[in-house]
Chains A and B, each alone.
Chain A
Amino acid sequence: MNPKSINEFRGESRHEFLDPQVLAKLSMLNVVSRGLVEGSFTGMHKSPHRGSSVEFAQYRKYVPGDDIKNVDWKIYAKTDRFYIKEFEADTNLRCHLVVDCSSSMGFKGKHGSKLDYTKRLAATLAQLLIQQGDAVGLQCFSESVTKDIPARGSPKHLRNIFEIIGSAVPAGKTDIVGVLHDLAEKIRRRAMIIVFSDFFTDIDALLDCFQHMKFRKHDLAIFHLMDPEELTFEFDRSIRFQDMESTFSVVTEPAVIKNDYLKELNHYLDRMLLGCSEFHVDYRFTNLLRPYPEVLTDFLLSRQRK
Chain B
Amino acid sequence: MKIVIVGSGNVGYHLAALLVEEGHDIVVIDNHNETLEKLVEVLDIKGVHGNGSYLDVQMEADVPHADLVIAVAQRDEINMLCCLLAKKLGAKHTIARVRNLEYSRQLHLLSDELGLSMAINPELAAASEIARILKFPSALKIDTLAKGLVELVHFKLAKDNPLVENSLQEISGKFSHKILISAVERNGEVDMPTGSYVLQAGDKVHIVGKLEDITKFFKSLGLFIPKSKYVMIVGGGQIAFYLAQQILTMGMKVKIIENDRKRCMELCEFLPTATIINSDGTDQDVLMEEKLEGADSFIALTESDEANLIISMFAKSKGVAKVITKINRSKYMNVMQQMEIDSFISQQLITSNTIARYVRAMQNTEGSSVETLYKFVDDKAEAIEFIATGNTRHIYEHLKDLKLKKNLLIAALVRKNNVIIPDGNDKIIPGDNVIVVTTNKKLNDLDDIFAVRANKAAAKTKD
- The answer to whether A binds B is no
Query: Which A residues are closer than 8 A to B by beta carbons?
Result: none
Q: Which residues of B contact A (CB under 8 A)?
A: none
